Structure 1
Amino acid sequence: MNIKVIKVLGFFILICLIAIFIPPKVIAKGITERIGGDDRFEVSVNISKKHWGEGSRTVYLSNYVAFADALSAAPLAFKDNSPILLTYDDRLPNVTKQELQRLKASRVVLIGGKGSISEKVQNEIQSMRISVERISGADRFEVSANIASKIGNYEKAVVTNGLTFADALAIAPYASRNETPILLTKKEEIPKVIQSKLNRVNETLIVGGIGSVSKSIETDLPNSTRIGGQDRFEVAANIIEKLELHTDRVYMATGLTFADALTGSVAAAMENSPILLTRPTALPTTTSSIIKNRKMNNFLILGGTGSVSSNINNNLLKTEGLKTPVVYFVPHADDEVLTYGVDIRNMIASGRKVYLVLLSKGEDSGARDIQNGVYDVESKTPKLAGKPIFCWWHGVYHNPIEEKYLHGHISQAEFAQARVEDFFRASLALGVPKSSIIDESFYLMDYNSVTAKKVMEKYISLYPNADFRTMSEYDQHDQHAFLGKVLEQLEAENKVAKYQTKYFVSIYTGRFSGVSLNEKKYAVTLTKASDSSFVKNAIESYKYFYPEQGIYANGYHSVAIQFNSLEEDMRSVFHY
Structure 2
Amino acid sequence: MFADAITASPLAKKLNNAPILLTEGNNLTTLTKERLQILGVKTVYIIGGTGVISNNIVNTLSSININSKRIGGVDRYETSIKVAKELTGGNASGMFVVSGDTFEDALSTAPIASKLQYPIILVAKNYVPASVKNYAASAKDKDLILVGGADVLDSNISNELKATKVYSQSDKYSRNLALINDFKGNLDLNKVLVASDSAFADALSGSALAGKSSNPIILLGNSNIDTISNFISKNDVKNVNVLGERGVISDNAVNSIIGTSTAPNSYLDSIADNTDLTDAQVDYLLSQLQGDWYKQIYLEDKKVSIPYDSKILHFNTKTSGKYQLITAYKNDAQLENIQKIQKNI
Root-mean-square deviation (CA), in Å?
2.1
One of 152, 175, 184 as aligned partner of 2:122: 184
- Aligned residue for 2:87? 151
- Aligned residue for 1:169? 107
- Aligned residue for 2:57? 121
- Aligned residue for 2:253? 312
The question of whether the paired residues in 1 share the 8 Å contact of 2:151 and 2:170 is answered with no
The question of whether the paired residues in 1 share the 8 Å contact of 2:229 and 2:257 is answered with no
Structure 1 runs, 4 residues or longer, greater than 6 Å off? none
CA drift at 1:317: 4.2
- Please say if 1:216 is aligned against 2:153: no
Deviations 1:361-393 (A, max 9, x none): xxxxxxxxxxxxxxxxxxxxxxxxxxxxxxxxx
CA drift at 1:129: 0.4
- Aligned residue for 1:99? 35
CA drift at 1:255: 0.8
Q: Distance in 1 between matches of 2:249 and 2:169?
A: 22
One of 52, 63, 77 as aligned partner of 2:12: 77
One of 90, 94, 98 as aligned partner of 1:160: 98
CA drift at 1:233: 1.8
- Aligned residue for 2:304? none
SS in 2 for 1:86: coil
Q: Distance in 1 between matches of 2:255 and 2:151?
A: 34
Q: Distance in 2 between matches of 1:319 and 1:214?
A: 40
SS in 2 for 1:84: coil
One of 151, 158, 170 as aligned partner of 1:230: 170
- More deviation, 313-322/177-186: 313-322
- Aligned residue for 1:461? none
Deviations 1:503-535 (A, max 9, x none): xxxxxxxxxxxxxxxxxxx89xxxxxxxxxxxx
- Aligned residue for 2:279? none
Deviations 1:152-179 (A, max 9, x none): 2212110111111110011101001111
- Aligned residue for 1:293? 234
SS in 2 for 1:256: coil
Q: Distance in 2 between matches of 1:226 and 1:296?
A: 27
- Aligned residue for 2:280? none
Deviations 1:280-308 (A, max 9, x none): x7754433332343233411111111111
CA drift at 1:200: 2.2
- Please say if 1:247 is aligned against 2:189: yes
Q: Distance in 2 between matches of 1:215 and 1:161?
A: 12
- Aligned residue for 2:72? 136
CA drift at 1:86: 0.8
Alignment of 1:552-563 (within 5 A): none
Letter in 1 for 2:132: I
- The share of aligned pairs that are identical, in percent, is 34
- Aligned residue for 1:340? none
SS in 2 for 1:218: helix
- Aligned residue for 1:388? none
Aligned length: 258
Q: Distance in 1 between matches of 2:161 and 2:189?
A: 30
CA drift at 1:98: 1.0
Q: Distance in 2 between matches of 1:230 and 1:282?
A: 14
Deviations 1:103-142 (A, max 9, x none): 1000011111222212222211110000011111111101
Pair member with larger Rg: 1
Deviations 1:1-56 (A, max 9, x none): xxxxxxxxxxxxxxxxxxxxxxxxxxxxxxxxxxxxxxxxxxxxxxxxxxxxxxxx
Q: Distance in 2 between matches of 1:167 and 1:103?
A: 30
- Aligned residue for 1:50? none
- Aligned residue for 2:147? 207
Structure 2 residues without counterparts, runs of 5 or longer? 264-290, 293-345
CA drift at 1:92: 1.7
Deviations 1:418-473 (A, max 9, x none): xxxxxxxxxxxxxxxxxxxxxxxxxxxxxxxxxxxxxxxxxxxxxxxxxxxxxxxx
Q: Distance in 2 between matches of 1:296 and 1:307?
A: 22
Alignment of 1:83-482 (within 5 A): 83-152=19-88, 153-201=91-139, 202-222=142-162, 224-244=164-184, 245-279=187-221, 283-321=224-262
Q: Distance in 1 between matches of 2:103 and 2:163?
A: 24
Q: Distance in 2 between matches of 1:243 and 1:228?
A: 16
Q: Distance in 2 between matches of 1:317 and 1:288?
A: 6
Letter in 1 for 2:252: N
CA drift at 1:216: 2.2
Structure 1 residues without counterparts, runs of 5 or longer? 1-65, 323-521, 524-576
The question of whether the paired residues in 1 share the 8 Å contact of 2:146 and 2:163 is answered with no
CA drift at 1:90: 2.0
Q: Distance in 2 between matches of 1:319 and 1:117?
A: 45
CA drift at 1:271: 1.3
Mark the CA change 1:318 to 1:211 in structure 2 (over 3 Å): closer, same or farther: closer
CA drift at 1:309: 1.2
Letter in 2 for 1:116: V
Q: Distance in 2 between matches of 1:175 and 1:225?
A: 14
Q: Distance in 2 between matches of 1:288 and 1:320?
A: 8
Q: Distance in 2 between matches of 1:298 and 1:269?
A: 16
Q: Distance in 1 between matches of 2:261 and 2:68?
A: 47
The question of whether the paired residues in 1 share the 8 Å contact of 2:226 and 2:256 is answered with no
SS in 2 for 1:151: helix
CA drift at 1:197: 1.0
Q: Distance in 1 between matches of 2:224 and 2:247?
A: 14
